[in-house]
Structure 1
Amino acid sequence: MSINEDVTVSHQQSSTAQLQLNFGGYSCAGKKSQNQDAFAAYTPNDNELSSKGVVAAIADGVSSASKAAEAAQIAVTQFIEQYYSTPATWSTQKSAAKVLTSLNQWLYSQTDNSTGQAQQWLTTFSAFIAKSSTGYLFHLGDTRISVFKNNLLETITNDHNRKQGATSAILTRALGADSRLQVDVHQVDIHVGDVYVLTCDGVHDFVSAKCIKQKLSRLTSQPSEQELEKVSKSIVQRAIANGSDDNVSCLLVFVKATPNRKAEEIERNLLSRRIPPALNVGHKLDGYKIVKVIHASTRSHLYLAEHEGETSPVVIKIPSQNFAQDAIYLQGFMREAWVGERINHCNVMRVKSDQKNSRFLYHVCEYIEGQTLTEWMFDNPKPNISEVREIVSQIVSALRTFQRLELVHRDLKPDNIMIDKYGSVKLIDYGTALIASLDENNETLTETVPQGSLNYIAPETLLELKANNISDLFSLGVICYEMLSGELPFKPMKTATITQTEYQQWQYRSIKQFRPDLPLWLDLSLMQCTQPDPKLRYQAFSELEVDLKKPNLTAVEEYKKQPILKRNPVKFWQGISLALFISLIISIAA
């Protein structure tokens, strides 16, 4: 049997609402001999639109700097170029902050401070990034971003200058002015029909808000870019007519459409993809020939497959038909491919989504010849510390990559960790991964239950539905504890019903109860790694790694100085109970 793209799909593909912006701007030197302003706007392709959004930026070179025009031009062009070069998984704020910091360092480094000369590369800067239904504003200097909506004009940014008299002002912030960068960040909801107005001080210092509002009020309900440019030019010309003695620039951004889809629309779109039926050896799916059925469960099916022209076998992962109507599960399945395509690390399983034109939902995964960590623990019930240390080190290496990409795995457990025949560790199954860039959007279905597996999930995720990289660290600590002892650091939960309501209700069980041969320093390290309260936990993966490699003897000494009630409250109260019992027996005997 061969499954191809000619199969009739029972669901109709709904049109996906996308963010659409129109731009129109105008800039000129005005009464000056050189135009030291710059602006730019960019709309990416569909792949980057969801993760990065649309960018508009304006800069006004500081006239006292000899490279003012160059600084402004570099600021807007390099900001946009470098912003889209940051990882697709990063949040908007992290991406913009990294780029602005880099730009500021470069501009600042161009000044020769040893000669006592004034700053040479200085510019104000304001950027508007529209992503999904949210606008992110980054601003320093006296360029300005305003919004025109409901026939009202509202200024969002604050001018960073200090007025001197009625006609002059001293700039207090600019790109390239200081090695330390201070940027104002705003986050706003964007709606269809909003007009964002980016201007330099040569415009807004000479044209009243009332006048700008009047000109914007004449825009049609769906203004073209030519119409926006015409209005921008009109605003600039009014500034010149009103006596502006500076460069004059105005950029208008009209919100034409936003992807404010309801949950039903998202669900309908997810359910439009067909899940292939269960496959057998010899069946074909889009050119992939099934060689072996690796695993079949109520959640997914894994097949070893070969493809003509490819030398290495691959694994085809297909959702179970049981989840054909479960939009949240299908969204996680698609998320796994999205993450897998963007991570390139030796300790993370490579994943790519299905053939681009396929109507079927499946992943093509790296084939790992080995066993799960669960199976490894069964074969190695009492491993030595060095063996566990090596596995943990490789897991940490993978999790650091997740952290750099602003990802949180959220489902670390032995079944989601593979060890190949060469001893190399691979993280698998990241369908529940938290992705910072996509989490900002409003295009995901609401998660009403904690993401993760019982007994490995961090307490803060259970109590508050929150997870970060420190949550992954907790899960890793539980796994490390289980590898060494075959037990869990806390009393196992039998059902998904959460009985704990506060962190104190998680009581750590010393690993020495199960492995008396293990040293105290290791027990203390695992106890800190699995602290229920995330504030008391290790705050970095490196802290666990260091303590596993080099015993923290200081922690051991401090622990020994603590009263027994704090060191081992269970043993303390057991002792008290025993003493009371003996006292009672003696009293009765007397």
Structure 2
Amino acid sequence: MEDAARLSFGQAFVAADKRYHRSSMVVQIPDGEMMASQGACALISDSTSRNAIARQAGDLSARGFLADYYSTPEHWDVKTAATRVLRALNGWCYSQSRFVKGGGYVSSLSAMVFQGTDAHLFHMGDTLVFRLRGAEFEQISRDHVTDIGGYRYPSRALGMDANIDIDYMTLPMKQGDIFLFTTQAVRGTLLPSDYVQQIRLSADSLDGACQQLARAAAARAGERGYDGQSFCFQLVRVDRLPESGSEGPDLRFGKLPVPPELVPGEQFEGYDIEAALSPGGKARVYRVRDVDTDRRFIFKSPSPGLALDDAYLAHFMLQQWVAERVSSPFIVRSVSPARPRRHLYYLMEDVEGEPLDQWMARHPEASLEQRLDIAQQICKAVHALHRKNILHQGICPENIMLDRHEGVVLIDFGACYFMEHDDQEGARALVYDIGMNPHHSPEYALKDNVSRRSDQFALASVIYWLVSGGLPYGESLNGLAGRSELDGLAYRPLALQQPSLPPVLDDTLRRALMPQKALRYRRLSELVYGLKLARQAWHAGQELMEPPPQHVPAGRRTETRWKIVAGISLLALIISWWF
């Protein structure tokens, strides 16, 4: 049975000079889980510029939306995901336009997301979207234009202002609905009856229908004396809607059942349960083996007791998104199930190694070179999360795995949080719920706002522990009762514990471990650079400690050789005289 809409589409484009066309259009219909959870997208954009920048603006706005929309967490609803993507895209276009002369990254854009039985329209500017249902042909987008001196210019377009006002509407779909996407260039050419006639004449081929519309619009424009216009037409038809009562799995978090308690030895959805790694808490973690491929994975699912807690289930899906979307060799990787999921869980690679605290217990004599190499890898893992606007909030030795080659893999996304949310209390609540560790920054104990610098503190605290075995302030800061206590905190210099460590390492960590968040590094790259200088200083110190090799200049070696030869000759002459 069908559990996602089935769509077909057609396109046609006519331009007097294709090098400088201003319009872009694209349709993306994904397969499988993504189609069911996030739907299909159809977009059209039209730039306000008439130069080479116009093509870039149109293409970037359309393709940028698709790339970012399908990277959002699957548990977000369509409106939340598309709106956040468009606002981020608008901010980027607006910032780039300030550096462009004779043009700008400004464009009208209409995006429609087909998800389930609804079509979600997001509209900015003056691009046009129509719906043909039976004999009824109507425009469903609004023209946002400004009339200046008899010329119409788009307003509320993407990239025009730092803030964007987005038109949003939801349309229930019916089988056979046809949506037409085009631009303001067709205004004054075709009548509604022309659209209906041309589409009906080529009903078997949507590409053919678009080409007929383009030819008819170009001919009508020629008759009225404004040749050289660009025309683009895009049609999307709803061929089939999802069937109600579908037996296939619904991939939205609220519809997938939570797995029951699993025990080693049983089989679940094609996986042999080998070990329960985390039998308590809000999540269940198991080591499993795929019965078909014999590969081992880490299987994570919510606790059965939280099956009705939508807030937790939404956060669980965020954890899955982090594992799937953050691509880094220093972050544990998600694995796509070989079979359709019928319960709420996700799979991760089974890292063959041990946590950092166990590794340190087995390697107490590890060199500073090894420790700083591990520290720099941890920095890369945290940086990969921060680039996706994600706080880890759980950086500690127990959540850092070292594989057989001493490669770092950061695990456990149970406290991860999107930084674009303004809900600071929600971020801290995740940490309180899971439990604080000795490396958390003072902001959590004082219920202050958290940020990237909060992760920076925890990261620096772990590095301090890695090279010294202690904590930077002697004990955990989780018991702070008020801001006044921050001024009384005294950093414990590394030199007091290990005088051989380079001073630049102490200076670097001291700055990242400032109790006042505003005094820490602005960027994580500054901490990384300090660690690099520390490694260089340590290497230089090692070279000074080694005794220099005995080196005799070449001239002195030659002089010594001739002295030996002369001595032997003199001794031979004396012997000859003697005898």
Contact 2:332 2:409 in 1 (8 A): yes
Q: 1:283 to 1:506 in 2, by over 3 A?
A: farther
Q: Does 1:96 align with 2:78?
A: no
Q: Tell me how far apart the structure 2 counterparts of residues 435 and 471 of structure 1 sit (CA, whole Å).
A: 14
Q: 1:469 to 1:365 in 2, by over 3 A?
A: same
Contact 2:45 2:127 in 1 (8 A): no
Question: Which structure 2 residues correspond to residues 385-464 of structure 1 after superposition, within 5 A?
Answer: 385-435=368-418, 447=426, 449-452=428-431, 453-454=435-436, 455-459=438-442
Corresponding residue number in structure 2 for 1:125: 107
Corresponding residue number in structure 2 for 1:40: 25
Contact 1:202 1:246 in 2 (8 A): no
Cα distance, 1:78 vs structure 2: 6.0
Q: Secondary structure at the match of 1:523?
A: helix
Corresponding residue number in structure 1 for 2:471: 487
Question: Which structure 2 residues correspond to residues 30-179 of structure 1 after superposition, within 5 A?
Answer: 38=23, 40=25, 42=27, 44-45=29-30, 47=34, 54=41, 56-59=43-46, 72=55, 76=58, 79-81=61-63, 83-85=65-67, 88-89=70-71, 92=85, 96=89, 125-129=107-111, 144=126
Contact 1:37 1:247 in 2 (8 A): no
Structure 1: give runs of 5+ residues left out of the alignment.
1-15, 109-117, 176-180, 213-225, 257-265, 555-590
Corresponding residue number in structure 1 for 2:490: 509
Q: What are the superposed Cα offsets for residues 54-85 of structure 1, whole Å, 9 maximum, x if unpaired? A: 4533325866x6x89xx65x754564345434
Contact 2:258 2:344 in 1 (8 A): yes
Q: Tell me how far apart the structure 1 counterparts of residues 283 and 358 of structure 2 sit (CA, whole Å).
A: 19
Corresponding residue number in structure 2 for 1:542: 525
Contact 2:378 2:408 in 1 (8 A): yes
TM-score by length of 1: 0.58
Cα distance, 1:374 vs structure 2: 3.0
Contact 1:40 1:56 in 2 (8 A): yes
Q: Does 1:276 align with 2:260?
A: yes
Q: 1:404 to 1:87 in 2, by over 3 A?
A: farther
Q: 1:420 to 1:43 in 2, by over 3 A?
A: closer
Q: What are the superposed Cα offsets for residues 527-575 of structure 1, whole Å, 9 maximum, x if unpaired? A: 2112344432212222112212315999xxxxxxxxxxxxxxxxxxxxx
Question: What is the percent sequence identity of the aligned residues?
Answer: 20
Q: Tell me how far apart the structure 1 counterparts of residues 49 and 457 of structure 2 sit (CA, whole Å).
A: 50
Q: Tell me how far apart the structure 1 counterparts of residues 163 and 123 of structure 2 sit (CA, whole Å).
A: 6
Cα distance, 1:366 vs structure 2: 1.5
Q: What are the superposed Cα offsets for residues 185-206 of structure 1, whole Å, 9 maximum, x if unpaired? A: 5143734469x999866678x9
Corresponding residue number in structure 1 for 2:241: none
Corresponding residue number in structure 2 for 1:298: 281
Q: What are the superposed Cα offsets for residues 372-406 of structure 1, whole Å, 9 maximum, x if unpaired? A: 22333444668654333121111112223223344
Q: Which amino acid is the alignment partner of residue 273 of structure 2?
A: I
Q: Which amino acid is the alignment partner of residue 429 of structure 2?
A: P
Q: 1:295 to 1:56 in 2, by over 3 A?
A: closer
Q: 1:250 to 1:553 in 2, by over 3 A?
A: closer
Q: Secondary structure at the match of 2:166?
A: strand
Corresponding residue number in structure 2 for 1:190: 168
Contact 1:458 1:471 in 2 (8 A): yes
Q: Tell me how far apart the structure 2 counterparts of residues 513 and 60 of structure 1 sit (CA, whole Å).
A: 58
Q: Secondary structure at the match of 2:481?
A: coil
Contact 1:411 1:451 in 2 (8 A): no
Q: Tell me how far apart the structure 2 counterparts of residues 491 and 197 of structure 1 sit (CA, whole Å).
A: 65
Corresponding residue number in structure 2 for 1:581: none
Q: Tell me how far apart the structure 1 counterparts of residues 449 and 145 of structure 2 sit (CA, whole Å).
A: 31
Q: Secondary structure at the match of 1:340?
A: helix
Q: Tell me how far apart the structure 1 counterparts of residues 166 and 317 of structure 2 sit (CA, whole Å).
A: 29
Contact 2:146 2:152 in 1 (8 A): no
Residue among 331, 335, 346 paired with 2:329: 346
Report the number of matched residues. Answer: 461
Q: 1:386 to 1:57 in 2, by over 3 A?
A: same
Higher Cα radius of gyration: 2
Question: Which structure 2 residues correspond to residues 215-294 of structure 1 after superposition, within 5 A?
Answer: 247=229, 270=254, 272-280=256-264, 282-294=265-277
Which stretch of structure 1 is more off in the superposition, 322-331 or 121-130? 121-130
Corresponding residue number in structure 1 for 2:300: 317
Structure 2: give runs of 5+ residues left out of the alignment.
73-83, 131-138, 173-178, 193-205, 239-249, 538-579
Corresponding residue number in structure 1 for 2:565: none
Q: Which amino acid is the alignment partner of residue 261 of structure 2?
A: P
Q: Which amino acid is the alignment partner of residue 58 of structure 1?
A: S
